[in-house]
Amino acid sequence: MEKDYVFDLLNKAVDQGHKLGADFLEARYDDLQLTTINLTNDIIKQSSSINRKGIGVMAYYQGTPGYSFTPELSSEGVAEATKKAVKLAKSTDIRNKLKLDFDKIKPIKDHIEVKAKKHPKDYEFDDKLAMLKRGVSAIKEQVDATSTTGMYGEMYGEKFFINSEGSEIYWVPMIVDMRMVAVLISEGQQAMGAEGIGASKGLEHFDEKGRSPEDFGTIAGKDCKDSLNAVAAPTGKTTTLVSPQMGGVVVHESFGHLSEADFVVTGQSPIADRVGEQLGSEHVTIIDEGVPEQGGLFFPYDDQGTKTGKTVLVEDGILKGYLHNRGTAKKMNSELTGNCRAINFLYNPIVRMKNTYFGAGNLTFEEALEEVGTGIYAVDMSGGQVGLDGNFMFNCRKGYLIENGEITKPIKNSSLSGNILELLKYIKGATKDIEIRTGYFGGCGKNGQNGLPVGLGGPNVIMDQVLVGGAQ
């Protein structure tokens, strides 16, 4: 669709909203193309080509928001959505006691496109299927698996945003991802290996070192085979070295959500009103960032038109701040952080994370192993769950014993649990290098908006007092 036509539609929404009595409006249009291929046991279990597009209008009336959306990309459709958004804002104002209005800022005009060397739209379905077949072949070279799965996902498109300040933003999101999974069921036991990683890039991502389908398939197959001989992890409170991807999940799920200011302003977060407090050891720094130089998710603007930056949530163990939308930022007298995001046009933007990671430490990987001495190295997970009180439980599906400062044997699936606010006190150090990942599969869930792409990562982090549960 022509950019001028879209911006014209969105501008009409803003103009109409003002005429209907709204104080401020934001209007956005998403046009996203998503492709998924799931090759299980050499059969395409699922393949889909999804075109997802629509318009969302947020109206504010005396600090009360109302959101309406429509798939009808016409003047009439947008007019109806705008009318409904303003009506919602006005009619719910009577009940809204916690008004989160915000100060006006200088309008932003920006146009950002990611220059992918191998844009997925320029490649056929067959080309992507061929990559999966290469990965699955690599699995089969390693292990006689009960089942093999190769998954490919891509998302790209356009995002348009305007608001009452005159901001006009256009940017192009993009993610490609590939996963390889091998499962072996033998004598009532299940062994599994999985590998893969996404990026905010084109298909050139899979040309990089260690990122080819063969690389993913080889690791998945080898891990599956190795896990047949895995030993039970030591149970009880254990010193644990967590990998960048594992640490990224822990910090995102168990701490990051507590730092989202919508939970903070309503008092639901256990870290509300604790800025300046020493929450963790001096080795703990936690960052949320829109466009990290280390990779991860490319996310330059949030769905409120705020330019994303780098937010230090915890520095040297001290809580420095929270993640905000414009309303919570004003309410808490904070800088804008660009964390107002919606999973798609069907939803109003809420406070979400971007790329969340532990800050780097000063150890080499070998020094970190030596510091652990005896414990486990938790490399990857398959599922986890957290509570708003900081309690967490993650299933460590790939890990190793650390004995006398060296990685020795693979361990069976184990649960890692604890309370993040307790655990932060027992972080003993981190390595120097940071890796941040993103992906098409999985994603973050909150308030029914599930599968939002985020970035996760950090260095390898030494955590003491992690409760390791029995082998499964």
Partner 1 sequence: MSLDDLRNKILNIADTTIKHSRDLNIPSTEVFVLEQSTTNLTDNKGKVDSRDGLVQGIGIRVAVGKKLGFASCTGFDEETIKSTLKQAHSIANVSPENPMFNGFVAETKMSKEGILDPDIPHLDADDLIEKCNIMNQEVDLSDRRIISGSFGANIAYQGFAIATTEGCLASSLQTTFGANSYFVVTDAGDRKTAQDFVAARKVESVEGIAPKALNKAISSLGSKAFGGSEVLPTIWEPRESAPFLAFAFFNVFSGSAYVEKSNPWKEKLNEKVAVKELTVIDDGQKPDTEACQSIDAEGTPKQTTAIIEDGVLKTFLFNKMYGDAAGFSTTGNAQRGGIFGGTPYENIPVVGPNQMMIKEVAKNLEEQISEIDKGILITGTPIGLFTANPVTGDFSVTCNDTFLIEKGEKVHPLKSISIAGNYFETLNNIRFIGNDTEQSGWPIDAPSMTFLNHTISD
265 binds partner 1 (CB under 8 A): yes
43 binds partner 1 (CB under 8 A): yes
Of 84-92, 290-298, 318-326, 333-341, the segment contacting partner 1 by CB under 8 A is 84-92
Closest to partner 1 by CB, 408 or 447: 447
Closest to partner 1 by CB, 99 or 211: 99
140 binds partner 1 (CB under 8 A): no
98 binds partner 1 (CB under 8 A): yes
Is residue 101 within 8 A of residue 63, CB to CB? The reply is: yes
Closest to partner 1 by CB, 46 or 374: 46
Of 2-10, 244-252, 266-274, 454-462, the segment contacting partner 1 by CB under 8 A is 266-274
Cβ of residue 374: shortest distance to partner 1, in angstroms? 22
69 binds partner 1 (CB under 8 A): yes
Closest to partner 1 by CB, 129 or 312: 129
1 binds partner 1 (CB under 8 A): no
Cβ of residue 145: shortest distance to partner 1, in angstroms? 11
75 binds partner 1 (CB under 8 A): no
Cβ of residue 62: shortest distance to partner 1, in angstroms? 12
238 binds partner 1 (CB under 8 A): no
Cβ of residue 86: shortest distance to partner 1, in angstroms? 11
Among 11, 18, 23, 96, binds partner 1 (CB under 8 A): 96
Instruction: Give residues with Cβ within 8 angstroms of 260, minimum separation 6.
Output: 269, 322, 323, 339, 351, 352, 353, 446
Among 23, 72, 165, 315, binds partner 1 (CB under 8 A): 72
Distance CA 339, CA 261 (A): 10
Of 52-60, 108-116, 193-201, 357-365, the segment contacting partner 1 by CB under 8 A is 52-60
Among 229, 364, 374, 472, binds partner 1 (CB under 8 A): 472
Cβ of residue 355: shortest distance to partner 1, in angstroms? 25
Cβ of residue 329: shortest distance to partner 1, in angstroms? 14
Closest to partner 1 by CB, 291 or 386: 386
70 binds partner 1 (CB under 8 A): yes
Cβ of residue 436: shortest distance to partner 1, in angstroms? 25
76 binds partner 1 (CB under 8 A): no
For the chain, the C-alpha Rg in angstroms (whole number) is 23
Closest to partner 1 by CB, 103 or 124: 124
Instruction: Give residues with Cβ within 8 angstroms of 261, minimum separation 6.
Output: 322, 323, 324, 325, 328, 329, 331, 332, 334, 339, 351
Distance CA 457, CA 436 (A): 4
423: left (phi over 0), alpha (psi -120 to 50) or beta: alpha
395 binds partner 1 (CB under 8 A): yes
Among 8, 42, 113, 366, binds partner 1 (CB under 8 A): 42
- Contact set for partner 1, span 346-385 (CB under 8 A): 346-348, 350, 382-385
Instruction: Give residues with Cβ within 8 angstroms of 310, minimum separation 6.
Output: 287, 288, 289, 290, 292
137 binds partner 1 (CB under 8 A): no
Cβ of residue 87: shortest distance to partner 1, in angstroms? 8
231 binds partner 1 (CB under 8 A): no
- Contact set for partner 1, span 157-196 (CB under 8 A): 183, 185, 188-190
Distance CA 456, CA 438 (A): 6
115 binds partner 1 (CB under 8 A): no
Cβ of residue 94: shortest distance to partner 1, in angstroms? 7
Task: Number of residues interacting with partner 1: please give it, by CB under 8 A.
Answer: 84
Closest to partner 1 by CB, 242 or 363: 242
- Contact set for partner 1, span 269-328 (CB under 8 A): 270
Among 5, 19, 50, 276, binds partner 1 (CB under 8 A): 50
Closest to partner 1 by CB, 20 or 312: 20
β-sheet bridge partners, residue 231: 411
